[in-house]
């Protein structure tokens, strides 16, 4: 919770800074109010506890009752949560709470759409490190809520030898050999490849996971056959809702989609206030 509190506190400080001038000028005295978070479109819910935490960081006396849980599918008009407390506190938490909740729901909703496209193929959707700076923990959680799987969290918890690593190390075999001698035996090594020649080199080097980066469907199919289950196969690049199923049908195990987080559309949620 400390990491999430840090995200929330930074967002509140960015928004409120030295004080909410509008609220301070309009509401001179405490005034009890009720509020509702309302879905303005269909979506997959993610981040309801984060939304609640925003208000509790502002005012511990705000009551917050969630009407749905993360992973639930909402229809337009559904009341996501009900709150009651001092009007000033509700107003000061509104935008930060909605910003985080809408983005997290957007990611979960988009992930669920990708997962649905893969039904029956055996392939899995995974995310990438193309996340909003500072929000990675929330965004990767939202991918899981939507039914997707997380790739590595950061540079510290997985070996992924990419194009520039290969160039710097002098080749795929050299890069894999150097990594293998450095890391613990419990870690796997993934290698990014751009053509069948590099796939062959990655196999020779003993890579555990081979990424097929921006390959066409025919070349991807050939690569899967060449690998022959000797390594997990990940497809990356050019993936969208229109292409993901055909990519899965080449036989790859994993499909990474940067769009789950880097270009997602926030869902539409409103906070509506009323007198107690």
Could you list the active site residues? 95, 130, 162, 192, 213
Burial of 265 (0-12, 13-18, 19+ CB in 10 A): exposed
- Match 């940067």 to its residue by tokens: 258
- Match 């160039």 to its residue by tokens: 167
| DSSP3 helix / strand / coil % (the chain, rounded to 5) | 45, 20, 35
Question: CA-based angle 96:100:101, to the nearest 5?
Answer: 110
What is the four-CA torsion angle of 111, 113, 116, 117, rounded to 10 degrees?
-110
Beta bridge partners of 44: 73
Could you write out the DSSP letters of every residue in 139-193?
HHHHHHHTT-B---SSTTS-EEE-HHHHHHHTSHHHHHHHHHHHS-TT--EEEEE
């Amino acid at each position: 919770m400390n990491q999430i509190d840090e995200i929330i506190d930074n967002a509140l400080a960015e928004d409120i800074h030295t004080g909410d001038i509008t609220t301070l000028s309009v509401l001179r005295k405490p005034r009890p109010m009720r509020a509702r978070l309302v879905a303005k479109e269909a979506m997959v819910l993610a981040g309801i506890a984060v939304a609640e935490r925003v208000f509790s960081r502002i005012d511990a006396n705000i009551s917050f009752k969630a009407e749905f849980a993360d992973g639930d599918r909402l229809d337009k008009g559904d009341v996501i949560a009900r709150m009651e407390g001092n009007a000033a506190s509700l107003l000061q938490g509104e935008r930060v709470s909605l910003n985080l909740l809408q983005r997290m729901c957007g990611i979960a909703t988009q992930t669920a759409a990708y997962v649905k496209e893969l039904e029956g193929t055996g392939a899995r959707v995974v995310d990438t490190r193309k996340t909003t700076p500072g929000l990675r923990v929330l965004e990767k959680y939202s991918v899981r809520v939507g039914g997707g799987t997380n790739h590595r969290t950061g540079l510290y918890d997985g070996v992924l030898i990419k194009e520039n690593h290969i160039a710097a190390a002098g080749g795929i075999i050299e890069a894999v050999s150097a990594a293998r001698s450095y890391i613990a035996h419990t870690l796997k090594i993934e290698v990014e490849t751009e053509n069948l020649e590099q796939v062959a080199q990655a196999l020779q080097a003993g890579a555990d996971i081979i990424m097929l980066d921006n390959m066409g469907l025919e070349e991807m199919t050939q690569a899967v056959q060449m690998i022959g289950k000797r390594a997990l196969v990940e497809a990356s690049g050019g993936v969208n809702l229109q292409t993901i199923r055909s990519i899965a049908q080449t036989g790859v195990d994993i499909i990474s989609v940067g769009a789950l987080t880097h270009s997602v559309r926030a869902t539409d949620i409103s906070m509506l206030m009323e007198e107690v």
